[in-house]
Structure 1
Amino acid sequence: MNENKHVTSTGWVDPNDAPELTDEFFEIADEYIGEKLVRRGRPRKVEPKQPVSIRLSNEVVKYFRATGKGWQTRIDEVLKEWIAARSSV
């Protein structure tokens, strides 16, 4: 039998013998409002970033990768600045 699956015993019937509801129980429990499951975590962004494939010169990629983690975000910021500089005309 698969050890990863949680097995629920069907032998329990006495409501006075119910397990104590601990904080841990509520932390892992699914929360519903009516029939709808309430999703946990960060809410979805109104305008999420779009994954794209773009061809950049080696020089550009090497430069931004050398700046460390978040290098793709920095490319995005530079492109937004470029747009802003041309939109104000």
Structure 2
Amino acid sequence: MNGKPEKSDQDWFDPDDGIELTEEQLDRAEYAIGDKIIRPARGTLTQTYATATVPAREEISLSVDQDLANALRATGPDWQSKAADALREWLDHRRS
């Protein structure tokens, strides 16, 4: 007989029943597609980051050896920021 069991294993959750976010919260939210971050968060749901602490960023194209590119990506989802920090440290060391 094909019948529904008395109690299903898991209750169904409707994603539309989640909390509603304000426009201000959405402006601060991280946008991602899968594991790829499209735009990093600009604060938390309740607080914005001070704009003075977030430097302006510019996207550039840089050609590096394949092994270096693989090693950078292997450092994790924030690999581009880590690479920028390493370049900044190298420049600071070079200037002194």
**TM-score computed with the length of structure 2 as normaliser:** 0.44
Larger CA Rg, structure 1 vs 2: 1
Higher relative contact order (CA 8 A, sep 6+): 2
